[in-house]
Amino acid sequence: MFVSEALAIGSATCIALSSMFINELNGRVPLMQLARWQLTAAFLMTAVAATLVGGWATLGAWQVGSLAASSVFGIVIASTTYFAAIYTAGPRVTALLFSLASPFALVFGYVALGETINLTQAMGVVLILCGIVIAIGFRRRRPAPMIPLADGEPIEQAAPASPPVSLLGIGLGVITALGQALGSLTARPAMAAGVEPFAAMAIRSGLAMLCFWALLSLPKVRAMSKIVRKTDLGLAVTAAFFGTALGMSLLMAALKTGNVGIVSTLSSMTPVVILPMVWLRSGQRPRAHAWGGAALAIVGTGLISLS
């Protein structure tokens, strides 16, 4: 396997692993507090890396403005809804909904940049939507209990039905993909101008970090904060390391030497990569429609990226 392809798959794996760590904090760390921890850790990691490789010298005033807009859409909005979606719908469904970023980016490119959409790309959008519907639209039905032989209880109790995915969780996942697509669109001019990836990520995460810390001036936000265990802080920092620092860095490194379409497709394998992680963590094997829906979403992303 080529180096760029391996880096792209590594990026998808890191982002999936980050989602699992975030899910462990559900009910233990308030959403806004988690965002502050994550972004502070991500900024410190990427700022140190940018300093070591000399990335700050590649920044100009207009690039900072472009990255600031990207930070608002891709981090301030998308990261908040991303964490909330994991808390609400779980990491598997959130990763699947995140694949909507690809068709959203395609539409934005058509509207803002005049890029054309061909039949193959349109088929990719349809496959992604079908994959999402298949993966989260099916629920295990409650089987009827066996008829009792007498007036006693049924011989076999009915198996509990799988809980449906909440509409709120789906909405949050869609907003996350929308924000991610807008963040990529607004960051594209700066990256095309040669901004070093670590420096770009430090600017994006740093501005978002300042925004979330500034929100502490609001009484309602302060009231949501609470004293948590050091282990929870460790989990949040670990999630930031795998998701933002390492995962996104691997993606940037893959894009330096690899084909953009192939790298984008392989790095979007998070919905598939996360399934065995959920299996190992919960002890319950994801059902066939979950694997099939995730695979359809990956194929759809491939049709969009490789066209």
Tokens of 77: 């909005």
Residue 159 lies in a domain: no
Residue 156 lies in a domain: no
**Under a CB-based contact definition with an 8 Å cutoff, are residues 184 and 108 in contact?**
no
Residue 148 lies in a domain: no
Q: Provide the domain count of the chain.
A: 1
**Under a CB-based contact definition with an 8 Å cutoff, are residues 154 and 145 in contact?**
yes
Distance CA 182, CA 27 (A): 30
**Under a CB-based contact definition with an 8 Å cutoff, are residues 257 and 242 in contact?**
no
pLDDT tens digit at each of 307 positions of the chain: 467 777 877 888 898 898 888 888 887 888 888 889 889 999 999 999 999 999 999 998 999 999 999 899 988 998 889 888 888 888 888 888 877 777 787 777 777 767 666 788 778 778 877 877 777 665 444 444 444 444 444 444 444 445 566 788 889 988 988 888 888 778 878 877 888 888 988 999 999 999 999 988 888 877 877 777 888 888 888 988 888 778 877 776 776 666 555 666 666 677 777 888 888 887 878 778 778 877 887 787 777 666 6
Distance CA 211, CA 120 (A): 40
pLDDT score recorded for residue 175: 92
Residue 181 lies in a domain: yes
pLDDT score recorded for residue 264: 62
Residue 298 lies in a domain: yes
Distance CA 129, CA 194 (A): 34
pLDDT score recorded for residue 208: 92
Distance CA 250, CA 84 (A): 25
Residue 144 lies in a domain: no
Q: Which residue has the tokens 């807008």?
A: 182
* Reported pTM: 0.75
Distance CA 68, CA 206 (A): 9
pLDDT score recorded for residue 149: 44
Using only C-alpha atoms, the chain has a radius of gyration, in whole angstroms, of 21
Tokens of 53: 């490789």
Distance CA 14, CA 251 (A): 10
Range of the domain at 52: 3-139+165-306
Greatest alpha-carbon pair distance for the chain in Å reads 82
According to DSSP, residue 205 is labeled H
Residue 275 lies in a domain: yes
Q: Which residue has the tokens 């009792």?
A: 148
Residue 98 lies in a domain: yes
Contacts of 188 (CB under 8 A, 6+ apart): none
**Under a CB-based contact definition with an 8 Å cutoff, are residues 246 and 259 in contact?**
no
